[in-house]
Chain A
Amino acid sequence: MLLEVRDLRVEFRTRDGIAKAVNGVEYAVDAGQTLAVLGESGSGKSVTAQAIMGILDMPPGRITGGEILFKGRDLLKLKEDERRKVRGAEMAMIFQDALSALNPVLTVGDQLGEMFVVHRGMSKKDARAKAVELMDRVRIPAAKERVRDYPHQFSGGMRQRIMIAMALALEPSLIIADEPTTALDVTVQAQVMDLLAELRRELDMGLILITHDLGVVADVADRIAVMYAGRIVESAPVHDIYKAPAHPYTRGLLDSIPRLDQKGQELYAIKGLPPNLTKIPPGCAFHPRCPMARDVCRTDVPPLYEVTPSDGTRVSACHFWRECLDDRVDRHVNG
């Protein structure tokens, strides 16, 4: 396994008390695999990614437990200078908003080249040549001329390509992409996702794709981990989840999105709101919004139950995952 996150816990001190952003997250990615981490805002998907990268703001954040095993080493036990060597060279991150992730007063060539100067000790001139090569690789037209341009001179899609180029620069074995296409238009979104998928295949990298878009996930992921209130509620091969979700939250999400290929009647809406992270409900965090909730859900935190998958592993954090699977079956039969 390339990366394994085990029982990770992260808290934030806020004015309203301790916000438990991540409460025992478990997931794993293999080389050449794409794991989609799906969740709404506040589900802890980005905080987990920041903890893996080691870019969490501490304080107010604090990692209170767990392990992050990367190529067998626990990253949380490394010293900061060792960690810095891993970051960028062995794992890299692509952010949602390329305009604010890039430095506006440096040319893109300088920013791309910096990777090689810092990590590889190259000369400025060689680094510049490398920058052009990278821009070519992510298919930025006229890379040679544009290497001297500043970020604001590029369109949104082109800026996201530069972010990708920067992440790829040192050929890391793991890339974490946090909502890489959310800020882009659909036609450009398709270009960028295609590019990312192609480069992942070419370089046999592991990819963690953080998103809230069930459509994007279905298009590119091998596996999905669904997060809610800082926990994984369901994790499975992508086909299994869309065919028959084993958690009522996943089922609710799938039913609540309008489909391009269906006119559809009234949408199913999950009632209520995502929980306040300073006051996570006892028992199953989803129970106040769950149509299937019973007494046990209000008191006992569900463990990750093993569900029979089509291949690999599949887990669900629902006491009644069997019924949840069955419900889907019924709906299919009755139309």
Chain B
Amino acid sequence: MTESTATSTVEPILEVSGLVKHFPLTQGVLFKKQVGAVKAVDGVDFTLGAGETLGIVGESGCGKSTVARMLVNLERPTAGTIKYKGEDITKLSGRALKAVRRNIQMVFQDPYTSLNPRMTVGDIIGEPYDIHPEVAPKGDRRRRVQELLDVVGLNPEYVNRYPHQFSGGQRQRIGIARGLALRPEIIVADEPVSALDVSVQAQVINLLERLQGEFGLSYVFIAHDLSIVRHISDRVGVMYLGRIVEIGRDAEIYDHPTHPYTQALLSAVPVPDPEAREHRERIILFGDVPSPTNIPSGCRFRTRCWKAREKCEREVPSLAVPAEFRHGFGPAAHDSACHFAEEKQVVPPEEPLEEPPDDHAGGAV
């Protein structure tokens, strides 16, 4: 039997299993009674290998940001474990927790609200040292901060400036510098470029890739933009309504998706190539994502799935290599939580670059 692709092939630095986060819904003022729960994350498993980038994609409300917040301990999981180098960090507290948190840092989505407007850039990037003074002795901090600014491509003389004096892309660099300050091993980046303009996005993505090589970082990269995730990730997990529905190496997910949700998601992404629009098959899903307070029985995607049958209503499909691909070693043999998984190519295959037509640049010849 083929090994599960939720597991990284390199030695894992982070192992997540059975991760659940339910936010209670209460009624009443004095005597709060729980009437239900928002099941934001409802059983997520994955591993992250050292030096690897795991991309997590999904639409709004699928729970991807809640997963990120649990990884950096901004949110306590309802159930499940997060093992960092074999140690379950969800059970830690006090000094042991502090030591672990130093190694897992976060870069936030919105560089406009995640930087304190009343602090200078030097104070923002240096603040982690107040909490972990062992990393940089007091006299050394300014130099460290200036080094970090240089590393992320900002002028080290900017330490005394305030966030509003910077553009969006520059602010995101400040956020990244802050994330790097404690020399973490893992960076959790939650939509780090989605607030930026196209031409600036590329700069920040290239920076993240360069830093990964330079500092040997592992990334959990969370985004809704499938093209960016493919660009940066080694492995990709697709989330829907609080669960990972398909996970595998980037070519397995993008070129050989077997879960219908992944297929629909990929087929809906506009490709910047007007030639492709005629011969591309688009799968348009009906309706909206169901509410996470009221998750459908069985397969949670069945209400929007064109393949749904009775079995989908009764049985929850598990995230494993589907039976029909289990004996193969091809790219379709990766974890997919669907009873009726089938391979389907939805992204146009990479074409060899053609000869340019002669007539396109009349004046230039």
Contacts and interface: CB of A to CB of B under 8 A. Distances in A.
B198 A191 contact: no
A260 interface: yes
Nearest to A181: B270
B277 A269 contact: no
B311 to A, nearest CB: 24
Contacts of A41: 197
Interface string B167-207: 10110000000000000000000000000011111110110
Contact of B230 (A191, A212, A213, A258): A258
A323 B198 CA distance: 24
Interface in B309-365: 347-350, 353-357, 359-364
A121 B209 CA distance: 61
A71 interface: no
A244 B205 contact: no
B269 to A, nearest CB: 5
B269 A270 contact: no
B contact patch SS: helix
A63 interface: no
Contacts of A329: 356, 361, 364
A322 interface: yes
Q: How large is the interface on B (under 10, 10 to 19, 20 to 34, 35 or more residues)?
A: 35 or more
Nearest to B228: A258
B273 A218 contact: yes
Interface string A251-287: 0111011111111101111110110000000000000
A215 to B, nearest CB: 3
B271 A259 contact: yes
Interface string A167-188: 0000000000000000001111
Interface stretch (B36-44, B157-165, B282-290): B282-290
Instruction: Specify which of B264, B269, B353 lies most central, judged by the most chain A CB atoms within 10 Å of its CB.
Output: B269
A107 B115 CA distance: 38
B272 A215 contact: yes
B63 to A, nearest CB: 14
B284 A194 contact: yes
Contacts of A188: 59, 288
B362 to A, nearest CB: 4
Contact of B288 (A155, A254, A258): A155
A298 interface: no
A215 B251 CA distance: 21
B266 interface: yes
A269 B274 contact: no
Contacts of A212: 197-198
A333 B362 CA distance: 17
A267 B199 CA distance: 10
Nearest to B59: A185
B231 interface: yes
- The 7 A-B residue pairs whose C-beta atoms are closest, nearest first, are A215-B270, A258-B231, A308-B362, A185-B59, A256-B202, A190-B268, A269-B202
Given A261-B347, A262-B350, A269-B206, 12 more contacts: A40-B197, A186-B265, A187-B264, A189-B268, A216-B270, A217-B270, A217-B272, A273-B169, A273-B170, A307-B363, A326-B361, A329-B361
8 contacts: A214-B198, A217-B272, A254-B272, A257-B201, A258-B231, A267-B231, A268-B202, A332-B354
